[in-house]
Amino acid sequence: MDWGLILNNTLAWVFMPETIAYAIATLGLAVHFGYGGLLNFGQAGFMALGAYGYAISVLTFGFPWWGGLLVGVVAAVVFALILGLPTLRLRADYLAIATIAAAEVVRLLFQSTIFDDYTNSADGLGGYHESFRSANPFPPGTYGFGPWTWSATDLWVRVFGLILLGLALLVVWLVMRSPWGRVVRGIREDEDAVRALGKNVFAYKMQVLVLGGVLGALGGFVVALPSAVVPAYYLPSLTFFLWTILLLGGAATIFGPVLGSLLYWLIMAFLANVLPALASTGMIPGLNNPSQAGNLRYILVGVALILIVAFRPQGILGNKKEMTFNAR
Amino acid sequence: MPANQPRIKSTGLHVGEIRPGVPKVDPIIVADNVTRSFGGLKAVDVEHLEIPRGAITALIGPNGAGKTTLFNLLTGFDKPDTGTWEFDGKNLAGIPAFKVSQLGQVRTFQLTKSLALLTVLENMKLGAKNQAGEKFWNGLIPALWRKQEEEIEEKALALLERFKLDTKKDDYAASLSGGQRKLLEMARALMSDPTLVMLDEPMAGVNPALTQSLLDHILGLKDSGMTVLFVEHDMAMVRHIADWVVVMAEGRIVAEGPPDEVMKDLAVIDAYLGSHLDTDLGVVTGRIDVIHEDHLVDDIVEEALQTEAGSTTRPGDDIQEEKVQP
């Protein structure tokens, strides 16, 4: 086994666009669930809207890249409003059911052949990069060192992703320490009590849904930046990867999603490299097909999610004191 | 009970002969034909009810009489099938709960709703009205709300001191005892400077040592010009602090009047108090000997209190130590 190669391949994920994208989208989930108490199981739908909003506006309507980004954000806002109006008056568990269904509706609409001219149905969209790449401030060349060596385009994608992540963190941090954040956390605890204190609970929940949804769309945008937009990417399993990240890092924390996303992708990349290598040397009993060994990691993700929820429900960065009162 | 400084009860609140639905000299709430059914059960059926301003009104009645349902209707937490009601001259029918609260009619809940994972101080600050920083975009710019936040904090700390919760200000509300949560909920309601405070069973589950201070706080609300409407089962307490009593049974108002007169009312005794109102419970169950003289009971209580005061744990100490165990 080539440990140096495995280590290199793993560390490359520290600055992978997907790592950054998942951190942003999970920060949206933290706003929904960790702070607002809204059980959103449809974050993949918001991500799909961000990605498709970008790709379709650029490809079909000839928007510049930033126009596509804005379209994705507006689409997420509209989706949040449509989703929230009928469901936010219901209890949290009903919202969970509605969100998972709504996200599937979004994905299936993009996948269906009805809008083939715009979405290219199941094959997805690609080749929308020109506008974004032409805005690249870095001259062509090779940047970085060690496992982190990038072309100018790769660097631009990562830098822009990190800028978005930084802005997202700043906004969530500012707003959650303000009186607005206090009301939102109050709603998480008991919305009737907050209502009795004269706060328009419905309006706050809607704002929370919109804010977290916009972060989801920004995550989808960053996923789409270096690659292509394929509907099969936005399956409900994507939402559950985000939930794993959220619970790993800590639900009601600002940096939990960042740390969670980092750990998640490092572990995934490590396993993706190690498991096939182990399998090919016959060290995993009953598994000698390297490509199947790679899939074993998804089973391990499921097990990890169960273990986190059972033994450290507050996550790595979460406040243990909070959970002493809440976990059981 | 050691005698407290007597406070003068408000009298002359009503106009004309006392009967259910009697008009008041200066009503703060006027309700007409308010009904609410759950399936086939008519939980509330109030023809006419007026709550006097600036007084303490008790709403009593047996379990299932519709007291809490009426509370929910008056505060916008539930919608009636029929009826209109107004608060301070403003029609409240169809007004959502948060607006009712903004108008100055603030309630507490029978099952205390402290916001468990917010600190005591945060709980308090949440109660303040018209906060600039509670708008999303303002929240992003601390300069817009920092000054107001300081004022709110000052007010919250003063109230916490009055309710003897100031030492707990940085603890999670979840770590408070049941009685302290009741106090916190009441203090939090006061953060909005309400004109009418509606307390749903403020004494339920509160230990006797804390009851006394809760009673004082309720009387204090009246002293500072607020109107109080509360639901309570403890008759001694109702007699002690209420200026006016409204009795409900099976959803209707069956009697109302000043406490001493209402308790003599046959309808009330039938509906609620039972024929053993003035008898010691031990006598009813036959498990202890009959105690004839009232002052004898007082003596026993007095004695008990003194022995307790002499020992290391005074009543009230347990409040500090009563914490939710993880």
Instruction: Quote ipTM for the complex.
Output: 0.87
Q: Is the dihedral of CA B236, B239, B241, B242 positive or negative?
A: positive
CB contact under 8 A, A179 and B129: no
Contacts of B324 in chain A (CB under 8 A): 325
CA distance B99 to chain A (A): 6
The DSSP symbol for B202 reads: T
CB contact under 8 A, A174 and B142: yes
Which residues of A have a CB under 8 Å from any CB of B? 171, 174-175, 178-183, 185-186, 188-190, 192-201, 207, 211, 321-322, 324-326
Q: Is A152 a residue whose pLDDT tops 60?
A: yes
Q: Find the residue in A nearest to B133 (Cα).
A: A179
pLDDT of residue B271: 62
Helices marked H in B109-234: 120-126, 136-139, 146-162, 178-190, 208-223
Complete DSSP assignment for A118-165 = HH-GGG-B----HHHHHT--SPSSEEEETTEEEEHHHHHHHHHHHHHH
Determine how β-strand B196-200 pairs with β-strand B105-107: parallel
Least confident of B61-70, B157-166, B300-309: B300-309
Asked if A102 and A42 count as a contact pair (C-beta separation under 8 A), the reply is yes
Which of B121, B246, B127 shows the shortest CA–CA distance to B186? B127
B234 touches chain A (CB under 8 A): no
- Local confidence band at B319 (pLDDT 50, 70, 90 cut-offs): very low
pLDDT of residue B139: 94
Average pLDDT for chain A: 91
Least confident of A9-13, A19-23, B267-271: B267-271
Determine how β-strand B82-87 pairs with β-strand B90-91: antiparallel
| pTM of the predicted protein model | 0.87
Picking from B115, B133, B172, the nearest residue to A321 by CB comes out as B172
Complete DSSP assignment for B109-141 = -SS----TTSBHHHHHHHT-SS-GGGSHHHHT-
Rounded to whole angstroms, the Cα distance separating A79 from A70 reads 14
Rounded to whole angstroms, the Cα distance separating A7 from B278 reads 83
CB contact under 8 A, A324 and B106: no
CA torsion A51-A55-A57-A63 (nearest 10°) is 110
Q: Is B152 a residue whose pLDDT tops 70?
A: yes
B276 touches chain A (CB under 8 A): no
- Local confidence band at B9 (pLDDT 50, 70, 90 cut-offs): confident
Q: Is A269 a residue whose pLDDT tops 60?
A: yes
Q: Find the residue in B nearest to A207 (Cα).
A: B136
Q: Which residues of A155-179 are buried (b: 16+ CB within 10 A; e: fewer)?
A: bbbbbbbeebbeebbebbeebbebb
Strand stretches in A153-226, DSSP E:
none
First to last CA, chain A: 45
Which of B59, B58, B62, B64 shows the shortest CA–CA distance to B43? B64
Count of CB contacts below 8 A, A vs B? 115
B105 touches chain A (CB under 8 A): no
Q: Is B2 a residue whose pLDDT tops 70?
A: no
Rounded to whole angstroms, the Cα distance separating B169 from A138 reads 52
The DSSP symbol for B163 reads: T
pLDDT of residue B262: 84
